[in-house]
Amino acid sequence: MGEASQDSVQWLNQDERRTWLALHTVMTLLPATLDTDLQGLEGITLFDYHMLAMLSENEDGQVSMTELAQLSTSSPSRLSHVVKKLEQRGWVERTTYNGDARVKMASLTPSGWDAVHRIAPHHVGTVRALVLDCLDDKDVSDLGRVARKLVKALDNDHWILNADA
């Protein structure tokens, strides 16, 4: 993405500008609203919850730290900080994989599973109320399709959202 001169810029037309500003507003308000909601509920951030959810999607509640970083599009240092915070709450523990010190695993503890079961219904209800309830089935399908296209343009290595793009 190189710099463009004033003369070579293809400026946004009115519809593109409206669309961009609406998307920008959603990207700003939605994460902040979900963060505030989860902070009030459990004192955690949306990113903290996302880590718990990613772990809970595996039957054994265990994922390598490398895979968890990919799933969350997070830097290793940010992920390590969040996992440490979740460890301090007793929700996650880090171990080695089959005794191989090079491979670190993050696992939900029984308290972590309890937290996910307690938080998830509320969070899903909030997501439904803020995003999905105002859309019809075609809107949901279109939003998913458009979001996957944007993710693909932004991050070709993010395999979860690229599926069926």
Tokens of 37: 């909601």
User: What local confidence, expressed as pLDDT, does residue 159 receive?
Assistant: 47
Q: Given pLDDT bands bounded at 50, 70 and 90, which one contains residue 5?
A: low
Give the residue-averaged pLDDT of 13-36.
97
**Domain residue ranges of the chain, discontinuous segments joined by +:** 14-134
Residues 34-43 have pLDDT tens digits of 999 999 999 9
Provide the 10 A C-beta neighbour count for residue 165.
13
pLDDT at position 165 over 50 = no
Token digits of residue 48: 């903290």
pLDDT confidence band for 1 (50 / 70 / 90): low
- pLDDT of res. 97: 84
Q: Distance between CA atoms of 111 and 28, rounded to whole angstroms?
A: 32
Instruction: Return d(Cα 56, Cα 15) in angstroms, integer.
Output: 41
- Can you give the pLDDT at residue 99? 76
**Token reading at 63:** 């994922």
Nearest to 150 by CA among 164, 135, 161: 161
**Confidence grade of residue 4 (pLDDT, cut at 50, 70, 90):** low
Q: Give the pLDDT score at 162.
A: 45
Greater pLDDT, 84 or 101: 84
Per-residue pLDDT at 135 exceeds 80 = yes
Query: At the top level of CATH, which class does the domain 14-134 belong to?
Result: mainly alpha
What pTM does this model have? 0.83
* Residue 28 clears pLDDT 90, i.e. is over it: yes
Nearest partner of 81 among 126, 39, 47, 116, judged by Cα: 47
Average pLDDT, the chain: 90
Instruction: Select the highest-mean-pLDDT range: 55-59, 66-70, 85-89.
Output: 85-89
